Amino acid sequence: MNNWKMIFRSASPLEVQLAKNYLESEGMDVLIQNETAAQIYSNAVDEPKLLVKESDVEEGIRILTEGGYIKS
């Protein structure tokens, strides 16, 4: 996962999943980190994080901003 970077996180696994689906609908490769642990352990672990390839960071942020997931 050396070439993957976090661009979005939320305390809500559902919100992270929706953002993932949105990016995938735009043709981006996306991973979620900590999703299962966050669902099981609630606030005891890190929030779920959305990761994209390092080369897609700027485009991913732009897409999520346009989609209302990231406030500008």
**Domain segments of the chain as ranges:** 4-66
Give the span between the Cα atoms of 60 and 68, in whole angstroms.
12
Q: How confident is the model at residue 45 (pLDDT cuts 50, 70, 90)?
A: low
Q: Report H helices in the chain.
A: 13-25, 35-41, 57-66
46 vs 26: which has the higher pLDDT: 26
Asked if 19 and 52 touch (Cβ cutoff 8 Å), the reply is: no
Contact 64, 23 (CB under 8 A): yes
Q: Could you tell me the fold of the domain covering 4-66?
A: Alpha-Beta Plaits (3.30.70)
Is the pLDDT reported for residue 40 higher than 60? no
